[in-house]
């Protein structure tokens, strides 16, 4: 399904996690939705939402959540799946084969979880074609993502 009216936050801007989840209909006042894994699946738009914090510290993150996520260039971003998502898993296969399935992957990035005492907003970048860098093992799914937006990822 194409992204359309269900998602109202496709412009390049900064949003809170709650605003993004609300825009996708994943959260309402009556039904709050919290994510822990850094991803959310939205069936209505056939979209996987990736939430990335670039600067992680051992005090705030466990070794299994210290993903290797980073900008390679203004047009290329390296993203690594959660430790429980292997390349062979149904979720891993959905990520790897999203182009063939005509599904969407959207990337939301913030530099750090907090700015001072405030929770940092997520910068919105819309991602299109993914090139999967296979490791040759059943480990996490490493992905190199190229932006659809002419302005690049950041």
Confidence of residue 127 (pLDDT cuts 50, 70, 90): low
- Identify the CATH class of 14-147: mainly beta
pLDDT of residue 2: 52
Question: Domain-by-domain residue ranges, the chain?
Answer: 14-147
What does the pLDDT look like over 9-41, one tens digit per residue? 556 677 888 888 888 888 888 888 778 778 899
| % of the chain at pLDDT higher than 90 | 3
The model carries a pTM of 0.79
pLDDT of residue 52: 86
3-state secondary structure 67-133: CCCEEEECCEEEEECCCCCECCCHHHHHHHCHHHHCCEEEEEEECCCEECCEECCEEEEEEEEEEEC
pLDDT of residue 90: 92
């Amino acid at each position: 399904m194409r992204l359309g009216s269900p998602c109202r936050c496709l412009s390049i801007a900064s949003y809170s996690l709650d605003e993004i989840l609300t825009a996708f209909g994943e959260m309402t006042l009556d039904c709050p939705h919290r994510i822990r894994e850094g991803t959310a699946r939205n069936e209505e738009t056939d979209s996987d939402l990736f939430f990335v914090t670039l600067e992680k510290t051992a005090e705030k993150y466990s070794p299994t959540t210290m993903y290797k996520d980073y900008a390679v260039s203004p047009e290329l971003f390296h993203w690594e799946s959660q430790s429980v998502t292997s390349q062979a898993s149904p979720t891993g296969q959905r990520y790897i084969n999203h182009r063939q399935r005509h599904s969407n992957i959207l990337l939301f990035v913030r530099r750090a979880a907090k700015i001072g005492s405030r929770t940092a907003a997520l910068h919105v970048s819309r991602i299109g074609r993914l090139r999967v860098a296979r490791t040759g093992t059943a480990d996490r799914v490493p992905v190199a993502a190229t932006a659809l937006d002419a302005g690049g990822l950041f």
